[in-house]
Amino acid sequence: MALILSKFRSDFIKMILVFIFFVTVPLWISRVGLYNYIALEILIWCIYGMGYNFALGYTGLPSFGHGAFFGVGAYAMAIYQIHWGGDSLWIGLLLSILAGVLAGGVTGMLISHRRGIYFSLLTIAFGQMFWFLAIKLRDVTKGEDGLLNLQRLPANFGLFSIDLSNTDSLYYFTFALFVIVVVMLWFFIHSSFGYVIRALKQNETRAQFLGYNVTLFKLISFTISTAISALAGGLFALAQQSAFPDVMSLHWSGIIVMMTIIGGGLVSFWGPILGVIFYFITRDIVGGMTEAWLMWFGGTFMLVILFQPEGIAGLWGSLSKRFLTGKPALPTVSTPQEAQHEPV
Amino acid sequence: MAFIIELLPHIFNGLTIGLLFALIALGFTLIVGVMELINLAHGSLFAVGAYLALATMSFFGASGFTSPTLLQYGAALIIAPIGVAILGMGLELGMRRTYGKEPLYGLLFTYGAALVIEEGIRQLWSSNDQYFPTPRIISGGMMFGDLIYPKYRIFASIFAIFMIILLWLFIERTKVGAIIKAGAHDSEMVRVLGVNLTVLRLFVFSFGAALAGIAGIILGPIWGVRPHMGVDAVIPAFLIVTVGGVGSFWGSVIAGIAVGLTSGITAYFAEDWSLMSIYILLAVVLIFRQRGLFGKASSLDT
């Protein structure tokens, strides 16, 4: 344990700084002209982004259909409350996660033997399928109207129960889950499992020759990622007190990809968080000035892809390196993909 | 018998849409072949084609809901695809920095471009559906015994078949076509043989874009013109390419028709589920044939 602590000291310092940042947000957010609900939304999307980046950044699975799993989680929570009359927060969230495991597992089984771009195309197809089902299964989902009037169920700990109907208390509950997800992902990534998935991200064929069942590893990693996305979806349903098919569309699946990459998910564990914060803050600021804010966001994303694929985290890394050493930074941490890319 | 008669229009509808989908998919697969790029902005270029056609017709004096003259329509059919090709060139020039990196970067770049184009359309032309009038000669219905069938759809089918044959002749019978085919097979080798790959890519991308634009003009009157129409087109297009097999000309055509027929016939039984049937078709084909019906191994596999 001491060894782990010393080896990953900077990781832990960053982690604690991130936690401190999020713990204090409700205290100052209204003073900087924002509002508490956006903090909750940002935190939920951070969980989603972290889950997504486990597939994209760490396993090299460029999924364009993750919105489906986020949505599946939201619907699990909504169906549990509306159709089954459920009133336990824990069961609701558990069902969200299970729904994500099930939907992601089935999808993963059908597509995880695919690689690269083919994989992306199939995630789009499956994402659209789930989205389509959410719109068309009107008896269950109420179609495009969505399932409304969900309760923010209290967190019942047996001896005592915490009311989450207020946005700040739901925020802190979400924060607790965020901490669990982040710590869990960190340990996944630094376990032997994590080294295998990072190896297969760099070169799948080579990992296969080393004797790893790459399809199975991809399937497991994809399913972990969808389960976390679905958990975020369940929380989103609580926050919005409703579940809509909208978040499952290709459009929203693309937004999480863009957030993750702009933030620097390809090179940094914390990339998705930076990207999510960037998205929501600029949406509120730029969106207040122009209706065409998505155009600006898309344009920013195109520039990031061309000139700064390492995103905000990469930029920060190279700037701080330059600041600390006084030398011009090396072209940041080159992504394993680029470094290992071999023309085929 | 009555059942067949009722089903017939749906089969024809499916065929028309399928042929047009094939046209979109062919542009898409040309770009995939030569550039190893999945162009997610392909649908947006398709939408731009329809909007530019409307703009061209109104520029030449056609107004609102009245039928344009053949001259106005013909002008739109020529000028709009050129406009789309120019936009495509702009995109290709912009994305040059992504060459030599993972194919993922090109995909992401074009996804961003799709978002920008779609929002741009909303800003320029509003989010509302627009009506796409057609010349009088191809409007209205035609009688086949007891059956009335819209003339426009017959025109659209013939036009699509004509374009597909033209495209096939271009690829199979011209020198440029031979270079494109060779480039799809091995672009590095083509460069070694002295072909300017930079120009080839620019040409192929704008050519594929123009094909998408043409399909947009032809599908506009059938679907109605709206900013979102790009997504409705690009998803079937890459499903077709995946079903037909990347890089296969007739694979795309056959898969296009199969997809059109599947959705058309499903629409007869359950209107709401016609889109879903396409995805099921995709799943079935991919379970039995990894690279689609006629696909060969390509660099996109890895």
Give the containing element (helix H, strand E) for A207: helix A204-209
* 6-45 of A, contacting B, C-beta below 8 A: none
Q: How far is B275 from chain A (nearest CA, A)?
A: 8
Would you state the pLDDT for residue A118?
76
Across the interface, whether the CB atoms of B115 and A124 are under 8 A apart is answered no
Q: How far is B56 from chain A (nearest CA, A)?
A: 24
Minimum mean pLDDT among A234-243, B139-148, B279-288: which range? Answer: B279-288
Q: Residue B224's Cα: distance from chain center in Å?
A: 16
Q: Name chain B contacts of A299, Cβ cutoff 8 Å.
A: 112, 116
Would you state the pLDDT for residue A180?
96
Across the interface, whether the CB atoms of B300 and A118 are under 8 A apart is answered yes
Q: Kindly tell me if the per-residue pLDDT of A338 is higher than 70.
A: no
User: What pLDDT band is residue A162 in, cutting at 50, 70 and 90?
Assistant: confident
**Contact (CB, 8 A) for A265 and A272:** yes
Across the interface, whether the CB atoms of A125 and B239 are under 8 A apart is answered yes
- Interface size A-B, in CB pairs within 8 Å, comes to 116
Would you state the pLDDT for residue A1?
58
Across the interface, whether the CB atoms of B104 and A125 are under 8 A apart is answered no
Best of B42, B98, B102, B109 to substitute, by most chain A Cβ atoms within 10 angstroms, is: B102
**Contact (CB, 8 A) for B34 and B187:** yes
**Contact (CB, 8 A) for B283 and A110:** yes
User: What pLDDT band is residue A116 in, cutting at 50, 70 and 90?
Assistant: confident
Number of C-alpha atoms within 13 angstroms, CB side, residue B222? 22
Q: How many angstroms separate the Cα of A289 from the Cα of each of A283, A294, B91? A: 10, 12, 27
Which tens digit of pLDDT belongs to each residue from A118-149?
788 889 888 988 998 898 888 888 888 888 88
Strand partners, B130: B225
Q: Residue B38's Cα: distance from chain center in Å?
A: 14
Q: Name chain A contacts of B191, Cβ cutoff 8 Å.
A: none
Best of A111, A117, A144 to substitute, by most chain B Cβ atoms within 10 angstroms, is: A117
Find, in chain A, the residue whose alpha carbon is nearest to that of B97.
Answer: A306
Would you state the pLDDT for residue A3?
64
Q: Name chain B contacts of A55, Cβ cutoff 8 Å.
A: none
3-state helix vs strand vs coil in chain B, percent to 5: 75, 5, 20
User: What pLDDT band is residue A31 in, cutting at 50, 70 and 90?
Assistant: confident
> Looking at the partner chain, which of A126, A128, A292 has a beta carbon nearest the beta carbon of B119?
A292
Q: How far is B45 from chain A (nearest CA, A)?
A: 16
Give the containing element (helix H, strand E) for A25: helix A9-28
pTM for the predicted model, two decimal places: 0.88
Minimum mean pLDDT among A115-119, A163-167, B200-204, B217-221: which range? Answer: A115-119
Cα–Cα distance for residue pair A66/B195, rounded to 1 Å: 41
Cα–Cα distance for residue pair A275/A257, rounded to 1 Å: 10
Nearest Cα residue to A344 out of A233, A169, A205, A215: A205
Chain B residues with at least one Cβ partner in A under 8 Å: 38, 94-95, 97-98, 100-105, 107-109, 111-116, 119-120, 122-123, 188, 231, 235, 238-239, 242, 272-273, 275-276, 279, 282-283, 286-287, 299-302
Across the interface, whether the CB atoms of A344 and B95 are under 8 A apart is answered no
Q: Kindly tell me if the per-residue pLDDT of B278 is higher than 80.
A: yes
ipTM here: 0.87
Find, in chain B, the residue whose alpha carbon is nearest to that of A138.
Answer: B272
> What SS3 string covers A33-102?
CCCHHHHHHHHHHHHHHHHHHHHHHHCCCCCCCHHHHHHHHHHHHHHHHHCCCCCCHHHHHHHHHHHHHH
Which tens digit of pLDDT belongs to each residue from B131-179?
888 888 888 888 777 778 888 999 999 999 999 999 999 988 999 888 8
Task: Please tell me if residue A205 touches chain B, with a CB cutoff of 8 Å.
Answer: yes
Q: Name chain A contacts of B301, Cβ cutoff 8 Å.
A: 115-116, 118
User: What pLDDT band is residue B185 in, cutting at 50, 70 and 90?
Assistant: confident
User: Backbone dihedral region of B122: left (phi > 0), alpha (psi from -120 to 50 degrees) or beta?
Assistant: alpha
